[in-house]
Structures are given as C-alpha cells and as structure tokens.
Amino acid sequence: MRLPARRQAAAPKRRCGVGYALGLEEVANPVDVLQLDMSGRPQAWITPREAAVVYASDGVAWTLGRAFHVLRGGIQRATGLQSRIEVHPIIAVKGAVPSRAWRQTPALSNPKLFVRDRHVCAYCGRRFAFDLLTREHVIPVSRGGRDTWMNCITACRGCNGRKGNRLPEEARMSLMYLPYIPSLHEDMILRGRRILTDQMEFLLASVPRSSRLHA
C-alpha cells in the first residue's frame, strides 16, 4: 500500500465544485476505479472523474497499483503550472467503515448470475451466449421457490422449457453444479466492467477458492 499520489501543483484558484470538473484532458474509454473503505473492503466502481473529486478533496487514504489515468485542470496564476491528478486503479477513501453495508447480500441480476455460472447451463453443461440463457429457479416460484442466489442457476432455454414447473428430480434432470451466494469481492467482478490486472488480482485474492471465477 502507498499514500495517494502527490499533486505536482496546487489546484487552481477558480474551481468548479472541488475542481477538475472542467477543462480536463482524459484518455478515451477510461477504466473505472475500484473504491474501497479504509479497511480495504470494496465499496463501489467509480469513474476517474469521480475519483478526482476524492483526490482533490483530500479524501484518499491510500492507493494500490500504478497510476493509469491523468486529469489536468487549469493553469495556476501564481506559478503558471497546470494542476494535475494521477488516478490509481484502486483507492481507499477516508471515513468510517460501513460495516452494515458489508453484511448485505449482493443484488441478483441475470448478467451477474450468468457470469457466476460461467454461461454454462446447469442441466446440459453446454456454454451459451447471453441471449440464449435464462434464470432458472431450482424450486419453481409457483411452488414456493424464492428468487435468490441459492435458488437460481443458469439454464439454456431448451432445458428451462423441458424442466417446466417441476423439481429437477421430478423432471429427471440433475444439476451439474450447485448455486451459491457470491462474496462482495466476487460481486465486484460479476458486475461486468473492464477490470485492470491490479484490480482483478486484488479482488480474486479475497474470493473463496470454491468460486467458479477461479476456474
């Protein structure tokens, strides 16, 4: 871990908000920044612009990884230097640790479910494109099944239709893998963003070895 990158020049006197909101020079299609709390727990994916606000507000506790994005502001009248912020791929923000949020179960969505299950149908074992997959309830909702991580698996449309409103054993269709609840580190990966190597290594280090993301 290391402290936030030192700015080469002070922020310009005339600023919009906390500065760096106007007149920025940015690379095309930037990758998002992984925001952590001070204890190293993931909080959110934020844009480089949003990260710049944290830097300019002196809200960064520490960073990880090599700076990958540069934001430039206006020219300081006194020195003639342009203000500059180097954004790192992982930043920890100052403040209290939100332990309550850490205990929350990640929200379930089809894109995250399909990535958790590697786009593989739990019944036939074949890999399919996103638009050929469905959210399959092991115990059908009409029979009391809940729409949760532990009751949902990925299934192709053909297998989903074949199973219908039955339990797997009633349809004589066995599961090739079991559902599970992703950890919050894993959930950050499942959200489908472009992830830099530094970010992926940090997140995978805290993902259980039983996770299919290690496959």
Q: Which domains does the chain have, with CATH numbers?
A: 1-100 (no CATH), 110-210 (1.10.30)
> What is the average per-residue pLDDT within 131-158?
97
Is 144 in a helix, a strand, or coil? coil
Residue 213: which pLDDT band, with cuts at 50, 70 and 90? Answer: confident
Cβ neighbours around 123 below 10 Å, total: 22
Q: Where is average pLDDT lowest: 65-74, 103-112, 131-140, 152-161?
A: 65-74
Higher pLDDT, 82 or 108: 108
| Cα 37–chain centre separation | 14
Cα(124)–Cα(58) distance, integer angstroms: 53
Cα(149)–Cα(107) distance, integer angstroms: 9
| DSSP-derived pairing of the beta strands 42-46 and 33-36 | antiparallel
Amino acid identity at 30: P
Most confident of 39-53, 168-182, 199-213: 168-182
Residue 102: which pLDDT band, with cuts at 50, 70 and 90? Answer: low
Residue 30: which pLDDT band, with cuts at 50, 70 and 90? Answer: low
Q: Where is average pLDDT lowest: 77-86, 125-134, 199-208?
A: 77-86
Segment 156-186, tens digit of pLDDT: 999 999 999 999 999 999 999 999 999 989 9
